[in-house]
Copies of this chain bind each other. A is one copy, B any other.
Protein backbone atom coordinates (compact mmCIF):
# COMPACT_ATOMS: atom_id res chain seq x y z
CA UNK A 1 0.00 0.00 0.00
CA UNK A 2 2.93 2.35 0.55
CA UNK A 3 4.73 1.24 -2.58
CA UNK A 4 3.52 4.27 -4.48
CA UNK A 5 4.75 6.65 -1.83
CA UNK A 6 8.41 5.93 -1.20
CA UNK A 7 10.40 2.85 -2.05
CA UNK A 8 11.64 0.52 0.67
CA UNK A 9 15.27 0.32 -0.24
CA UNK A 10 17.05 -2.97 0.18
CA UNK A 11 20.14 -3.09 2.34
CA UNK A 12 23.25 -1.81 0.60
CA UNK A 13 26.25 -4.06 0.24
CA UNK A 14 27.98 -2.70 3.30
CA UNK A 15 24.81 -3.12 5.35
CA UNK A 16 25.31 0.29 6.92
CA UNK A 17 23.56 2.64 4.56
CA UNK A 18 20.16 1.48 3.51
CA UNK A 19 17.64 3.84 5.01
CA UNK A 20 16.05 5.91 2.24
CA UNK A 21 17.17 9.04 4.06
CA UNK A 22 20.80 7.89 3.97
CA UNK A 23 20.60 6.29 0.54
CA UNK A 24 19.64 9.30 -1.51
CA UNK A 25 19.10 12.95 -0.48
CA UNK A 26 15.45 13.62 0.33
CA UNK A 27 13.79 15.89 -2.19
CA UNK A 28 12.11 19.09 -1.07
CA UNK A 29 8.73 17.52 -1.83
CA UNK A 30 9.46 14.39 0.22
CA UNK A 31 10.75 16.43 3.15
CA UNK A 32 7.70 18.71 3.02
CA UNK A 33 5.41 15.69 3.08
CA UNK A 34 7.25 13.89 5.89
CA UNK A 35 7.81 16.81 8.28
CA UNK A 36 4.14 17.17 9.33
CA UNK A 37 3.96 13.45 10.12
CA UNK A 38 7.00 13.68 12.39
CA UNK A 39 5.58 16.86 13.90
CA UNK A 40 2.35 15.03 14.74
CA UNK A 41 4.23 12.37 16.72
CA UNK A 42 6.71 14.83 18.27
CA UNK A 43 4.73 15.20 21.47
CA UNK A 44 4.91 12.98 24.58
CA UNK A 45 1.13 12.64 24.92
CA UNK A 46 0.64 11.80 21.25
CA UNK A 47 3.48 9.25 21.32
CA UNK A 48 1.84 7.55 24.28
CA UNK A 49 -1.58 7.68 22.61
CA UNK A 50 -0.17 6.00 19.49
CA UNK A 51 1.48 3.35 21.63
CA UNK A 52 -1.65 2.73 23.73
CA UNK A 53 -3.80 2.37 20.60
CA UNK A 54 -1.28 0.04 18.93
CA UNK A 55 -0.97 -2.13 22.02
CA UNK A 56 -4.69 -2.34 22.71
CA UNK A 57 -6.43 -5.64 22.16
CA UNK A 58 -7.41 -5.93 18.52
CA UNK A 59 -5.36 -2.87 17.61
CA UNK A 60 -8.08 -0.40 18.44
CA UNK A 61 -8.95 1.50 21.58
CA UNK A 62 -11.97 3.31 22.94
CA UNK A 63 -11.46 6.98 23.79
CA UNK A 64 -12.63 6.04 27.29
CA UNK A 65 -9.62 3.73 27.74
CA UNK A 66 -7.24 6.35 26.36
CA UNK A 67 -8.50 9.17 28.55
CA UNK A 68 -8.25 6.95 31.63
CA UNK A 69 -4.52 6.44 31.02
CA UNK A 70 -3.66 10.14 31.41
CA UNK A 71 -3.95 12.76 34.09
CA UNK A 72 -5.41 15.11 31.47
CA UNK A 73 -8.90 16.34 30.63
CA UNK A 74 -11.00 14.65 27.96
CA UNK A 75 -10.86 17.76 25.70
CA UNK A 76 -7.06 17.73 25.87
CA UNK A 77 -6.93 14.07 24.86
CA UNK A 78 -9.45 14.76 22.10
CA UNK A 79 -7.27 17.57 20.80
CA UNK A 80 -4.23 15.29 20.57
CA UNK A 81 -6.26 12.53 18.89
CA UNK A 82 -7.50 15.09 16.37
CA UNK A 83 -3.91 16.10 15.54
CA UNK A 84 -2.98 12.45 14.98
CA UNK A 85 -6.06 11.88 12.84
CA UNK A 86 -5.52 15.02 10.74
CA UNK A 87 -1.96 13.86 10.04
CA UNK A 88 -3.35 10.55 8.80
CA UNK A 89 -1.75 8.48 11.53
CA UNK A 90 -4.97 7.14 13.04
CA UNK A 91 -8.52 6.44 11.98
CA UNK A 92 -11.65 6.52 14.10
CA UNK A 93 -15.30 5.46 14.19
CA UNK A 94 -18.14 6.19 16.59
CA UNK A 95 -19.94 3.09 17.86
CA UNK A 96 -22.76 3.88 20.24
CA UNK A 97 -21.50 6.05 23.09
CA UNK A 98 -17.79 5.90 22.32
CA UNK A 99 -15.35 6.70 19.56
CA UNK A 100 -12.81 3.99 18.72
CA UNK A 101 -9.33 4.64 17.30
CA UNK A 102 -6.84 2.53 15.37
CA UNK A 103 -3.48 3.11 13.69
CA UNK A 104 -3.69 3.55 9.93
CA UNK A 105 -1.63 0.70 8.51
CA UNK A 106 1.71 1.46 6.93
CA UNK A 107 2.17 5.05 8.09
CA UNK A 108 4.47 4.35 11.04
CA UNK A 109 6.27 1.66 9.02
CA UNK A 110 6.96 4.23 6.35
CA UNK A 111 8.40 6.73 8.86
CA UNK A 112 10.43 3.92 10.38
CA UNK A 113 11.81 2.91 6.99
CA UNK A 114 12.80 6.48 6.17
CA UNK A 115 14.92 6.74 9.30
CA UNK A 116 16.61 3.40 9.55
CA UNK A 117 17.68 0.15 8.01
CA UNK A 118 15.13 -2.60 7.57
CA UNK A 119 17.50 -5.26 8.82
CA UNK A 120 18.85 -6.16 12.24
CA UNK A 121 22.54 -5.37 12.51
Report A98-121 CB contacts with B as 1/0, cut-off 8 Å. 000001000011011111111111
Q: Which residue from chain B places its CB closest to the CB of A113 in the assembled complex?
A: B116
Residues from chain B with a CB closer than 8 A to the CB of A118 are 118-120
Interface residues of A (CB under 8 A from B): 8, 17, 19, 21-26, 28, 31-32, 34-36, 38-39, 41-45, 47-48, 50-52, 54-55, 59, 69, 103, 108-109, 111-121
List the 9 closest A-B pairs by CB distance, nearest first. Answer: A112-B116, A22-B54, A38-B42, A39-B42, A112-B115, A31-B44, A26-B51, A31-B47, A109-B116
Query: DSSP majority for the A interface?
Result: helix
In the complex, are the beta carbons of A8 and B43 less than 8 A apart?
Answer: no
Residues from chain B with a CB closer than 8 A to the CB of A36 are 42
* Alpha-carbon separation in the docked complex, A21 to B38 (Å): 15
* Alpha-carbon separation in the docked complex, A115 to B47 (Å): 10
In angstroms, how far is the closest chain B Cβ from the Cβ of A13? Answer: 15
Contacts A108-B115, A112-B115, A119-B118: A25 and B48 contacting too (C-beta < 8 A)? yes
Residues from chain B with a CB closer than 8 A to the CB of A47 are 21, 26, 31, 34-35, 38
